Amino acid sequence: FCFLTFHYLCITGLKFPGVPSSDEPGKIFVLDLNDSRMKPVELRMPRNFDLETFNPHGISLYTDPSGKTPDNLMRGCTPVTHKSLVNDILAVGVDSFYATNDHYFENQFLQSYVEILLFQPWVKEVSHGYYFANGINLSPDKRHIYVADLFDHNVHVLERKEDNTLTRVKTVAVGSLVDNIEVDPETGDLWVGCHPNGWKALLFDPNDPAGSEVVRIQNIHSDKPQVTRVYEDDGQVLIGSSVATTYGGKLLIGTIFHKTLVCDLK
């Protein structure tokens, strides 16, 4: 998911080693949460877009300062290709974004780092030393970056510098395998999709499915951040939760390959 006013963007069609998938190409949908039908609408891609090889893994949205709102057509797509862009992405400008890289496809499964693509077609490493860098997102004031370190069960807080380099500020223990991060634009709370059992998530067994977990982190910049488990099940309802976010008293949970769940927050 990523958030724009009362709309959410969501992606489907991930093809990843060990993850069940279909032959359908990847797609992007818009979900209007003010519509009681809660029906996702597929975005139409430009004619020159290569749909056959579209394999979305991460998604991010940069809001145009002009205030333009999206329609159901993707416009002005400029593909960027680089071997290091293999996980999540965070747009911070019209032509710039941060990206996490777990290096799975280069046989460096335990060596991962965060990279940044600026206004030129090259990649610059700005932070490294992660066990498995995964989800990434931005604080509401745009001063800090949050990185999910999957196998280390942590969320790292990094400060952005003027040259877009990053400095580590702190690490918050989550107690679960952290996947993707969404940030509440009003409160600054982090909503994290998590995997309570890593082996089950990696070695999918339909007879013994991976469970799901959603964690909320409040006051992450304080001396005592509050980490709360908001949702959890053993995989009988939702398999492999990977992302979560909220709007209007609702909790939306996405998964690696299973389905999306909408819950009422109490």
What's this model's pTM, rounded to 2 decimal places? 0.78
Q: Is 57 noted as a catalytic residue in this protein? A: yes
Distance of CA 178 to the CA centre of its chain: 10
The reply, when asked if residue 23 is annotated as ligand binding, is no
Element (H, E) at 201: helix 198-202
Q: Is 152 annotated as a binding residue?
A: no
Integer Cα distance of 35 and 149 in angstroms: 35
DSSP string, 73-127: B--S------TT--S-EEEEETTEEEEEE--GGGT-TT-EEEEEE-SSSSEEEEE
Look up residue 48 and give its amino acid: N
pLDDT digit string, tens, across residues 84-120: 556 788 888 877 888 887 554 444 433 444 443 443 4
Count of CB atoms situated within 10 Å of the CB of 56: 16
pLDDT in tens, 10-69: 778 777 766 677 777 788 888 887 888 888 888 888 777 777 778 777 788 877 776 655
- Residue 210's alpha-carbon distances to 11, 77, 141, 147, 163, in angstroms, are 21, 36, 35, 23, 41
64 annotated as belonging to a binding site for a ligand? no
All domains of the chain in start order, with CATH: 9-264 (2.120.10.30)
- Mention every residue, 6+ apart, whose C-beta is less than 8 A from residue 160: 142, 143, 144, 145, 166
Annotated catalytic residue, options 57, 153, 156, 195: 57
Q: How many residues does the chain have?
A: 266
User: Which has the minimum average pLDDT: 44-53, 61-70, 130-139, 222-231?
Assistant: 61-70
